[in-house]
Amino acid sequence: MTYLMVDISGRSPVYDIPLCEALHRVLSPEHHVRLLAPNINPKDVDFDCKRLFGILPHRLQKSKRKPFRAIKALSVALNYISLIARVALKKPDILHFQWLPLVEVSTIERIFIKILRFLAPKTKFLLTIHNVYPHDSSEGYKQVYRERFSRVSPFFDKFIVHLETTKKEFCSAFGISAERVKVLHHGVLAPKGHDTVRRQRGKVLKLIMYGNQSTYKGTDVFVNALTLLPQGYKDKVHALVVGKTYSNYLNELKERKENANIEFIPEYVSDEVLYKHIADSDIIVLPYREISQSGVLLLALSTKRLIITSDIPSFKETLMGMGENTFFENGNAASLSKLIVKYADGLVDESKQLDFIESLEAKYSWTNIAEMYKSFINEL
């Protein structure tokens, strides 16, 4: 059996690679796993991998600048042509797509998928839905996206989502029957070669929020919560916000900051630099307003750091079993501020929290995820 996984735009190498490595370990020899993706070196992995065409580095994949978007669109089109040629020569048993990047901007992706479906009528077509909608989607754009997605969804046999909450939202939004959707968890994104030992707390409680910053991630909620801290706590709490931040939003955040102890690094930083910042922190804060599944959260689970998140359904499901000292009311800066005060005052059993986080890290190991995929493949 040939299992061909394709990340046509190279958007999620941190997901593709560990998943394929784990599948290679747990599947029997007759199950041949191959990954097609740009910006990946086949010499760096221990499974069959072929490099697709790609010019832009991963950090520029989500850039909204027109030259980068044009280059990305051209790369995707060339990769589809390459994929069509491969499938025409050797039809896989399973063709598994990670993302459909062109659906976000056009209906042309339907043509590529239709050709592939015609060439391989007996192949099982899978698509992972990492997020129900693209990030920062307005209500108007969601309607347009639903119309585009409805043009390609009939060509897929099964859809994969990471959470039950995502499945319900996806089925409701796109009119997909529950029988066509399988829940297979996202694995923990563990940093390789970086120290993730538990940190001894100092006098100052150090908070960190990392990743590309935007409204849907609730960076403004975090900043507002810090400004609401009682005066005596402003010297007890230090916050670092690190990650690409557009100038208009950054200016808004700085205006809200007032006299709160917040440091901004509003740019992309390397993994090595990011992990050093995380290692120097006590709590990772994720004040997201909405998201289907967060890679930032799954990285946080591997860092041996405390985690505070908004109480959105996807976070509560991923962190199921964590107590009330993990979640604050979504969008409520005062609720987050009160929770920060509890940690600053030492009113939370942090050791117990960390023990549970480590149990979740084990639960979402890639080996466990691969075993779930193995059962799913057998069902197919």
Residues facing residue 32 across a β-bridge: 2
Q: 154: exposed, middle or buried (C-beta count within 10 Å: 0-12, 13-18, 19+)?
A: exposed
Residue 97's nearest CA partner among 130, 72, 69 is 130
CB 94, CB 2: distance < 8 Å: yes
Sheet holding 237-242, edge to edge: 262-265, 237-242, 205-210, 283-286, 306-310, 327-328
Q: Where are the alpha helices (DSSP H) in 177-286?
A: 219-227, 247-257, 271-279
Residue 296 has pLDDT above 70, yes or no: yes
CA dihedral in degrees (192, 194, 200, 202; nearest 10)? Answer: -120
CB 335, CB 228: distance < 8 Å: no
Segment 217-238 mean pLDDT: 93
Distance CA 308, CA 177 (A): 34
Lowest mean pLDDT, pick from 136-140, 161-165, 315-319: 136-140
pLDDT, one tens digit per residue, over 229-286 is 998 898 899 999 999 998 999 999 999 888 889 999 999 998 889 999 999 999 999 9
Residue 17 has pLDDT above 60, yes or no: yes
In the chain, the domains with their CATH numbers are 2-187+365-379 (3.40.50.2000), 205-363 (3.40.50.2000)
Segment 326-343 mean pLDDT: 97
Distance CA 217, CA 136 (A): 9
Neighbours of 78 (CB within 10 A): 15
Contacts (Cβ under 8 Å, ≥6 apart) of 327: 308, 309, 310, 311, 315, 316, 319
Residue 293 has pLDDT above 90, yes or no: no
- The reported pLDDT for the residue numbered 136 is 82
pLDDT, one tens digit per residue, over 64-102 is 666 666 777 888 999 999 999 999 999 999 999 999 999
- The reported pLDDT for the residue numbered 73 is 82
- Residue 21 DSSP SS3: helix
Segment 332-350 mean pLDDT: 96
Distance CA 292, CA 314 (A): 6
Task: List the structure tokens of 269.
Answer: 């930083």
Residue 151's nearest CA partner among 123, 115, 113 is 113
pLDDT, one tens digit per residue, over 94-138 is 999 999 999 999 999 999 999 999 999 999 999 999 999 998 889
CB 370, CB 26: distance < 8 Å: yes
